Structure 1
Amino acid sequence: MGTAHRILIDTDPGLDDAVGILYALAEPRFAIEGVTAVAGNIGIGTTTRNVGSLLAAMGRADIAYAAGASGPLRGDGIHEEAIHGVDGLGGVTLPAPRAAPDPRGATRFLADQLLSAPEGALTVLALGPLTNLALLSRDAPRAYARIGRIIAMGGTIHEPGNCGPYAEFNMAADPLAAQIVFSGPVPLTLIPLDVTRKLRANPEDLARLAAKGTIAATLSAALIQAYFTDNAERQSRPLHDPCVMLRALEPHLFGTQRMTISVDCETHLGRLVPTADGTPIDVAMTIDAPGALEALWAGLGNQR
């Protein structure tokens, strides 16, 4: 096995965020150098606590985590308690955090991590609204520019939105932050609903995952099962955020296209709009869904 991928995770857990984090914690090819929470699916107090609890569940209290933005750069935040539950985890019980959040807060924490690492060494895996990264670019631009790449779940190109007809939740939750990140100096790979809706798990898949018996697999099966609680007729559930982790480790499973896109910050908030000028980004448009599900299940089954 080669050198581990050095990553920072920015997240708003959230059920599918939690599965992605558990996969990253179980996967020895990742070296997680910090986790930052942002308000998104649930408020910042809950997302921060959930990060600490996920680290505790996996016995990784050695990984530092920090609280970030409590709302978007402009306007009011939007939450998804109806999907994720008031605890953000669908009622799945996790242990209490074993360590307190880093007192520096997300911006200073991220800046210090980036400034102490070689330039380009750290990849940021962004699972929620991009507020923390936009604030980092504004308040610590030298550190921000040292990020090797951002891989972010968000947006939609051809698919209908999940936050209104045109927008995906992470983009709609803070469109101004997304536009700042899209137009910034750091290379960006975006994984939109066009891909994430194709990675799906059904009840039979969950039984196969739970049978692996590891902490990460057992918890992930319970978290995904929580999506089915209020809709027993649902045949399968998309796994949005784990696609970010999979793209980092298994890029051959995804096909990307270079696109120049702006983010609507005025009318249809969070809608992605093709534009003639700007900074091109890589957008994942295809996925080997069976291969991706097998890779995800295999990683969650690791005994680390």
Structure 2
Amino acid sequence: MPHAKPRLIVIDTDPGIDDAIGILLALASPEFDIAGITTVAGNIGIETTTLNAGRLLAFAGRGDIPVFQGAAAPLSRPGPEPLNLHGEDGIGGVALPAPTRGRESRHALEWLAEFLLARPEGSVEVLALGPLTNLARLVLERPDAAKRIGRIIAMGGAIHERGNVGPRAEFNLWADPEAAAAVVASDVPLALIPLDVTRRVRATREFVEALSASGGPLAAMVARLIQSYFESETNRESRPLHDPCVMLCALAPELFRIEELRLTVDTGAGDDAGALTIDGSGSPVHVALGVDGPAALDLLARRLMRN
């Protein structure tokens, strides 16, 4: 039986330790044909997130994949302070080579619009690992191109879980609530992977040791990235792998329990900025609310260990 044709994807990202793990998982997955990486400020500033994307591609020997620098700040409010959790370089001080290819001269928005318009409608998926600023600008400034996206799968939000930057707010949506609101309210098919799920896909120290012992270069790199999480926080026996859940859901949706909810995004100035609310007048979004955590981790490990 012939193999299915790889799915054409764009990764929109702010690397970021867990972004880096998600990117390496995508690179290890033959189901994906990665057309390009677009970067956004989030975990750390835009120059560093763009550099980190190029460094990850250089490590994986994939300098053929172009990197396009995107939004340096949210749509209409000041950008967040860098997360100390990811270190000064955004990837926990883990050594990576310099990019083998410079970032592209075109802005991410310009490239993404042109790319979508040149492909059959619905044939491109976007895997979004950071604030949704680039995608919101596409929706608002180039709706002709945005409507051609087959689906966005984004890590973001909290439904029944407590937030990680406020009582109800998760970092990616909190970093640019107006962008999140624009993407949620658009007609582009959207699947959200919130904290309700990502906190249940947890890497233990034993998991890290197994990756290190496997001998594979991608597995060893991911082990070092996760280990940097443990080194930054004492007395932690596991760490949630937020952004890789986007790739895992795209690869194996059967591991996730997905429901359609009608959602709105809080765009106020208070502690709930970026928070999601289930609202009958909101926009329909597919939301992952459950996951087989051990099976998701097993899939991650198997993909990394064979490369």
| TM-score using structure 1 length | 0.98
Secondary structure at 2:130 match in 1: coil
Q: Which residue of 2 aligns with 1:30?
A: 32
Q: Which residue of 2 aligns with 1:170?
A: 172
- Find the partner of 1:283 among 263, 282, 287: 287
Q: What is the letter of the counterpart of residue 300 of structure 1? A: L
Alignment partners' CA distance in 2, 1:163 and 1:296: 27
Q: What is the letter of the counterpart of residue 12 of structure 1? A: D
Q: How far is 1:74 from its partner?
A: 1.5
Contact 1:27/1:302, CA 8 A, preserved across alignment: no
Q: What is the letter of the counterpart of residue 147 of structure 1? A: I
Secondary structure at 1:148 match in 2: strand
Deviation string, structure 1 residues 227-265 (Cα, Å, up to 9, x no partner): 011323101000000000011010000011110111000
Asked if residue 18 in structure 1 is aligned to residue 24 in structure 2, the reply is no
Q: Which residue of 2 aligns with 1:161?
A: 163
Q: How far is 1:110 from its partner?
A: 0.7
Asked if residue 99 in structure 1 is aligned to residue 101 in structure 2, the reply is yes
Contact 1:195/1:287, CA 8 A, preserved across alignment: yes
Q: Which residue of 2 aligns with 1:292?
A: 296
Could you tell me the percent identity over the aligned residues?
53
- Find the partner of 1:47 among 14, 26, 49: 49
Alignment partners' CA distance in 1, 2:73 and 2:15: 15
Deviation string, structure 1 residues 95-122 (Cα, Å, up to 9, x no partner): 1111111111110111121111111001
- Find the partner of 2:277 among 254, 264, 273: 273
- Find the partner of 2:207 among 205, 208, 229: 205
Alignment partners' CA distance in 1, 2:303 and 2:242: 16
Alignment of 1:121-132 (within 5 A): 121-132=123-134
Alignment partners' CA distance in 2, 1:102 and 1:135: 19
Superposed structure 1 runs of 4+ greater than 3 Å apart: none
Q: How far is 1:302 from its partner?
A: 2.6
Alignment partners' CA distance in 2, 1:79 and 1:57: 28
Q: How far is 1:81 from its partner?
A: 3.1
| TM-score using structure 2 length | 0.97
Q: Which residue of 1 aligns with 2:152?
A: 150
Question: What is the aligned length?
Answer: 303
Deviation string, structure 1 residues 32-52 (Cα, Å, up to 9, x no partner): 011000000000000000000
Q: Which residue of 2 aligns with 1:89?
A: 91
Alignment partners' CA distance in 2, 1:51 and 1:96: 10
Contact 2:69/2:103, CA 8 A, preserved across alignment: yes
Secondary structure at 2:232 match in 1: coil
Contact 1:209/1:218, CA 8 A, preserved across alignment: yes
Contact 2:261/2:287, CA 8 A, preserved across alignment: yes
Secondary structure at 1:102 match in 2: coil
Alignment partners' CA distance in 1, 2:102 and 2:56: 13
Alignment partners' CA distance in 2, 1:44 and 1:89: 14
Q: How far is 1:3 from its partner?
A: 1.4
Alignment partners' CA distance in 1, 2:282 and 2:160: 20
Contact 1:52/1:65, CA 8 A, preserved across alignment: yes
Alignment partners' CA distance in 2, 1:39 and 1:155: 18
Deviation string, structure 1 residues 250-285 (Cα, Å, up to 9, x no partner): 000001111011100013211111222132010000
Q: How far is 1:212 from its partner?
A: 2.1
Deviation string, structure 1 residues 152-181 (Cα, Å, up to 9, x no partner): 000001111101111000010000000000
Q: Which runs of 5+ in 2 are unaligned?
A: none
| Greater mean deviation of Cα atoms: 23-32 or 145-154 | 23-32
Alignment of 1:127-138 (within 5 A): 127-138=129-140
Alignment partners' CA distance in 2, 1:102 and 1:160: 39
Q: How far is 1:26 from its partner?
A: 1.2
Alignment of 1:71-82 (within 5 A): 71-82=73-84
Asked if residue 58 in structure 1 is aligned to residue 60 in structure 2, the reply is yes
Alignment partners' CA distance in 1, 2:69 and 2:96: 19
Alignment partners' CA distance in 1, 2:182 and 2:141: 13
Query: CA RMSD for the aligned pairs?
Result: 0.9
Q: How far is 1:221 from its partner?
A: 0.5
